[in-house]
């Protein structure tokens, strides 16, 4: 089966590759500021825009990619079985990597341990997005509700930590990486909506110029395919390089 179906939509990986590049750039400047090397202003202005834009793009593409995976299984391979176990397993794997980051930051950072960062969030999102994957328009309405709820949870604080994953924080909570389901799951659902309409039936519903063999596009495509691996290893590499070249002291990261 398959016919004229695409094996993979290169433009999705290209955008993911761009997002991962900007994320790495943001984290380089974040580390420079955190280690007292350079005041980069990562919490405002251009650097904050780069950081948030890369995160939103990455999360949006999570939802879009889920629809492609689901649609490919249905339309290309004719798989009519329950696909939920596949997404459950994938979500658990990514969430587990998030737990590794929680452990490492808890051991080595004096303050700012990552409890529900982007990998925790993506892992959970992959699982709970499954019911939306077969609908074209329901995801956008759910996305709107969740994004609006973010205005309520943004300033919501309680005396316990058990609702952190939703977006309701304990008083005094501080972390370097925090992506609660409200409002961020809304961007996943926007990606689901987009994927189910722009790639209906696992076919592009729009025309695009074929530039996938362009050298730059091929590099971005490759980076997009390896985005999880890059995310996991990039911070140790950045910190290692800064220490190796004498720009930083390991005492800044709690060693």
18-31 pLDDT, tens per residue?
Answer: 999 999 999 999 98
The answer to whether residue 13 scores a pLDDT higher than 50 is yes
What's the confidence (pLDDT) of residue 190?
98
| Contact (CB, 8 A) for 124 and 115 | no
Mean pLDDT of 181-190: 98
The per-residue pLDDT for range 209-255, each reduced to its tens digit, is: 989 899 999 999 999 999 999 999 999 899 888 888 777 665 555 44
Cα–Cα distance for residue pair 100/68, rounded to 1 Å: 28
For helices 10-34 and 215-225, angle between their N-to-C axes, nearest 10 degrees: 70
Number of alpha carbons in the 13 Å side-chain half-sphere of residue 181: 13
Residue that has been written with the tokens 């299984």 in this structure: 73
Q: Is the dihedral of CA 68, 69, 70, 71 positive or negative?
A: positive
The per-residue pLDDT for range 197-208, each reduced to its tens digit, is: 999 999 999 999
């Amino acid at each position: 089966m398959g016919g004229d179906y695409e094996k993979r939509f290169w433009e999705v990986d290209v955008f993911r590759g761009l997002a991962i590049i900007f994320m790495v750039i943001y984290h380089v400047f974040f580390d420079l500021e955190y280690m007292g090397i350079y005041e980069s202003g990562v919490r405002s202005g251009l650097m904050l825009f780069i950081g948030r834009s890369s995160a939103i793009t990455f999360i949006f593409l999570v939802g879009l990619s889920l629809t492609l995976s689901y649609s490919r299984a249905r339309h290309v391979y004719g798989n009519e079985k329950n696909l939920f176990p596949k997404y459950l397993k994938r979500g658990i794997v990514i969430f587990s990597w998030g737990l590794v980051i929680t452990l490492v930051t808890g051991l080595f950072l004096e303050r700012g341990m990552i409890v529900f960062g982007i990998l925790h969030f993506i892992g959970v999102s992959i699982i709970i997005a499954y019911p939306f994957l077969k609908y074209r328009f329901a995801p956008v309405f759910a996305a709107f509700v969740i994004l609006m709820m973010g205005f309520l949870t943004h300033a919501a604080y309680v005396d316990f930590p058990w609702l952190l994953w939703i977006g309701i924080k304990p008083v005094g909570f501080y972390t370097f990486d925090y992506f609660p389901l409200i409002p961020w799951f809304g961007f996943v659902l926007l990606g689901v909506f987009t994927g189910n309409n722009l790639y209906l039936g696992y076919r592009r519903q729009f025309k695009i110029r074929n530039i996938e063999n362009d050298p730059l596009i091929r590099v971005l495509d490759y980076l997009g395919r390896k985005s999880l691996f890059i995310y996991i290893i990039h911070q140790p590499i950045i910190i290692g390089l800064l220490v190796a070249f004498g720009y930083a002291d390991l005492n800044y990261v709690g060693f």
